[in-house]
Amino acid sequence: MIARMRLAVGVLALAAGVSAQAEPPLPPPYAGAYQPQGVDEQGFWQKMDEEERRLAQSDMVIRDPALVGYVRNILCATVGEDRCGAVRPYILRVPIFNANMAPNGTMQVFTGLLLRVHSEAELGAVLGHEFGHFEARHTLERFRAARSSTDILAWAGVLGSLAPSYDVVRAYRNLEITLISSLYSFNRDHEREADRLGIAYLNNSNLRPQAAAQVWERLIEEYQADALSKGLKKPRLDRVPFYATHPPQVERATTLALLARPEAATRDDGAARYRAALAPWLPQLLDDQIKLNDFGASEYIIQSLAESGWTAPLWHARGELYRLRGAPRDLVQAAQFYGEAIALDPAHPEAHRGLGLALLKTGQAAAGQKALLRYLELKPDAADAKLIGMMIPKEVPAP
Amino acid sequence: MMSRLIAALAVTLIVALLPSAAMAHKLREQGVAVSIADSPLTVTPGRDWNRLDGNVGKHTETWTLDGGQLNDLTFFAGIEPGKPLVRERSKKREPLPKFGAGTLLVELPELFEATYRTAKQIADFRVTDVQPTRFLGQDGVMFTYEYVDQDQLTRKGEAHAAIVAGRLYMIGFDAPRLHYFERNIGDFHRIVQSARMS
């Protein structure tokens, strides 16, 4: 709420100062198969090609042609058919909000991003932003700046290998992760340029450019909800991978709102199509989020997805979230949420399982065992079927 | 960015240059019964193991053969209700799921899974099997799992757990799916079979 107010104030302030801000232009027509120039860029591309080979083999990559194709289509719809040919998207099963693009055309989209955007236009806004970095070749400048830090990495590796403890190896690996992400963390000017490019793509597409601001607005709210539930004064946005060097989110949301072409506000943002395409993956993405033990953020994500209508997977996820936290009042609420899921989809096996466990733990043994029995009927080959079976006395009649 | 880099480098340097006498790993010899983390849990290894110095939590111990990344045998010896399985990096900012007085056996795999996902910040974790078993003379649970760690290596694991007098006792074994898991799963089973409450 406060974010909204600050945002509104920001919009006014900016509108006064930048009312004459012109709509950002698109870069010149796309030149097609670009080849790296000069020793720095060629070397960097080679490194990225090697990285891509490794990525393509990774077990973290989701290899669902339908989902990958859909994400690719959204990118193409955003930046245009001629541009998107240069991109090879990979979807990584990582439950955080992030996406990045290497200069050789490798695009990494994290599942945490897919869970958090609500429409094709919103996903297009983020992918277009990353594509903007790619088209403006920001990574090359970062690479030149980062060569000194790569030397640091080499030395840390040598010293780390001298030390005997596993913890040192782990610390070294953390260092490596930081450095690799430092190649991707652009400075604020780069971010602003990519934002402007991203919105220019959207303005020229068939998608609704106003969606770009929504993404950041919702993200601020998520971090605030998370901080609130942890009893923190305010969220540490600088610790979040995608944000560390990004412009202040409020500034960003306001700028994006201003740059969006006003007459495009009535365009379709493809929210219904997005929900349909993501539906097969939604239960898994929700599960990945819930098991991060981040109660405030997970609750916010579920609630905001439910704005377009509660579904059985959403109720079930909420039940799981509350049952995992496990305070007595949580269990009572979890049972209620599982009940809502079952009302919408009586054949949802995991909802019956959750209901049964929540009831058992709140002292309602008979009803709990009945729900567990229904779970086993619906999913006789479940991994935990035998153990659940032992919790049900034989004489309980079938529901 | 740069100052964080320098800080990280300084930490690495300091740790690397600490006198190595402070890092005393211990040999756990074949056939010699040892108590785990000063708890009533005792095991008798069927072969020599190395106990790594340092632990991931208050009531834990980690053993290995070739190093923690290739075979990681972790004992959770008497986790109290209200406590997480491993130490929290930050109680406030990164809380871990807690074992509770009301936790059911069938929920232990979920607790373990949520702990791994939260502590390691990974998404790809699957519990592949859950079976009732006898462990430490009690009804217990045995479960197997598979996950992709941040180093992008797929690991397999198996754990046996029981709740004794309100406290959680569990032994888990993780190793890369390729070669290492199959090679030492028998050694792990021998340790599980030898586990007693003294």
Nearest partner of A292 among B155, B115, B86, B91, judged by Cα: B115
> Any idea of the CA torsion for A124, A126, A132, A138, to the nearest 10 degrees?
-160
Chain B 16-35, CB below 8 Å of chain A: which residues?
16-18, 20, 23, 25
> For residue A152, what pLDDT is reported?
53
Q: Is B126 left (phi over 0), alpha (psi -120 to 50) or beta?
A: beta
Q: Which one has a higher pLDDT value, A279 or A3?
A: A279
Task: Name the pTM for this structure.
Answer: 0.82
Residue B16 in any domain: the answer is no
Q: What is the CATH number of the domain that holds B155?
A: 3.40.1000.10
- Count of H helices and E strands in chain B? 3, 11
Q: Is the Cβ of B10 closer than 8 Å to some Cβ of chain A? A: no
CB contact under 8 A, A178 and B68: no
Among chain A residues, the shortest Cα distance to B72 is held by A166
CB contact under 8 A, A172 and B12: yes
> For residue B3, what pLDDT is reported?
63
Q: Is the Cβ of B178 closer than 8 Å to some Cβ of chain A? A: no
Query: What span, in angstroms and rounded, lies between the C-alpha atoms of A254 and A14?
Result: 8
Is the pLDDT reported for residue A1 higher than 70?
A: no
- Domain encompassing residue B76: 24-197
Query: Each residue of A281-314: pLDDT tens digit?
Result: 999 999 999 998 889 999 999 999 999 999 999 9
Nearest partner of A211 among A132, A281, A264, judged by Cα: A264
Q: Which residues of A touch B154 (CB under 8 A)?
A: 59
Tokens standing for residue A48: 């990225």
Tokens standing for residue A240: 């979040």
Residue B114 in any domain: the answer is yes
Is the pLDDT reported for residue A11 higher than 50?
A: no
Beta strands in chain B (DSSP E): 26-28, 34-35, 41-43, 49-51, 60-64, 72-79, 125-135, 138-148, 154-164, 167-176, 196-197
Q: Which residues of A touch B68 (CB under 8 A)?
A: 166
Is the pLDDT reported for residue A160 higher than 70?
A: no
Distance from the B123 Cα atom to the nearest Cα atom in chain A, whole angstroms: 5
A174 pLDDT tier (thresholds 50, 70, 90): very low
> For residue B6, what pLDDT is reported?
63
The complex's ipTM works out to 0.83
> For residue A7, what pLDDT is reported?
42
CB contacts < 8 Å between A and B, how many?
Answer: 139
Query: What span, in angstroms and rounded, lies between the C-alpha atoms of A337 and A265?
Result: 36
Residue B53 in any domain: the answer is yes
Is the pLDDT reported for residue A173 higher than 90?
A: no
Q: Which one has a higher pLDDT value, B99 or A31?
A: B99
* DSSP 3-state of B173: strand
B162: amino acid identity, one letter: A
CB contact under 8 A, B1 and A232: no
Give how far the C-alpha of residue A248 lies from the chain's centroid of Cα atoms, to the nearest Å.
Answer: 19
* Partner residue facing A111 (CB), from B1, B118, B123: B123
Phi, psi of B194 (to 5 degrees): -85, -5
- Report the CATH superfamily, name and number, of domain A281-390: Tetratricopeptide repeat domain (1.25.40.10)
Is the pLDDT reported for residue B139 higher than 70?
A: yes
Q: Which one has a higher pLDDT value, B190 or A212?
A: B190
Cβ contacts of A142-145, under 8 Å, gap ≥ 24: A142/A182, A142/A183, A142/A184, A142/A185, A142/A186, A142/A187, A142/A190, A143/A40, A143/A44, A143/A183, A144/A40
Q: Is the Cβ of B67 closer than 8 Å to some Cβ of chain A? A: yes
Q: Is the Cβ of B125 closer than 8 Å to some Cβ of chain A? A: yes
* Partner residue facing B117 (CB), from A178, A292, A391: A292
Distance from the A262 Cα atom to the nearest Cα atom in chain B, whole angstroms: 37
Q: Which residues pair with A106 in a beta bridge?
A: A88
Residues 6+ apart with CB under 8 A from B47: B30, B187, B190
Distance from the A267 Cα atom to the nearest Cα atom in chain B, whole angstroms: 35
Q: Which residues of B touch A172 (CB under 8 A)?
A: 12
Residue A91's H or E segment, with its range, is: strand A88-92
* Partner residue facing B152 (CB), from A58, A95, A387: A58
Nearest partner of A169 among B147, B15, B5, B152, judged by Cα: B15
For range A314-332, the mean pLDDT: 95
CB contact under 8 A, B8 and A174: yes
Gyration radius of chain A's alpha carbons: 24
> For residue B7, what pLDDT is reported?
66
For range B116-129, the mean pLDDT: 89
> For residue B94, what pLDDT is reported?
84
Domain boundaries, chain A: 2-13+39-266, 281-390
Query: Each residue of B65-93: pLDDT tens digit?
Result: 999 899 999 999 999 999 999 999 888 88
Q: How many domains does chain B have?
A: 1
Mutate to test the interface with B, among A291, A376, A388 (most CBs of B within 10 A): A291
> For residue A140, what pLDDT is reported?
67
Query: What does pLDDT average to over chain B?
Result: 88
Q: Which residues of B touch A167 (CB under 8 A)?
A: 15, 54
Nearest partner of A106 among A50, A146, A64, judged by Cα: A50
DSSP-derived letter for residue B84 is B
Residue B149 in any domain: the answer is yes
Q: Of A301-310, A339-348, B62-71, B147-156, which range is least confident?
A: B147-156
Mutate to test the interface with B, among A59, A161, A392 (most CBs of B within 10 A): A59
DSSP-derived letter for residue A25 is P
Is the pLDDT reported for residue B190 higher than 60?
A: yes
Tokens standing for residue A203: 């303005």
> For residue A4, what pLDDT is reported?
46
Q: Are B50 and B65 in contact (CB under 8 A)?
A: yes
Among chain B residues, the shortest Cα distance to A363 is held by B102
Q: Which one has a higher pLDDT value, B165 or A11?
A: B165
Distance from the B114 Cα atom to the nearest Cα atom in chain A, whole angstroms: 5
B81: amino acid identity, one letter: P
Tokens standing for residue B167: 């406290």
Distance from the A293 Cα atom to the nearest Cα atom in chain B, whole angstroms: 6
Q: Is the dihedral of CA A334, A336, A340, A343 positive or negative?
A: positive
Query: What span, in angstroms and rounded, lies between the C-alpha atoms of B121 and B41?
Result: 30
Is the pLDDT reported for residue A51 higher than 50?
A: yes
Distance from the A204 Cα atom to the nearest Cα atom in chain B, whole angstroms: 35
Q: Is the Cβ of B82 closer than 8 Å to some Cβ of chain A? A: no
Q: Are A199 and A210 in contact (CB under 8 A)?
A: no
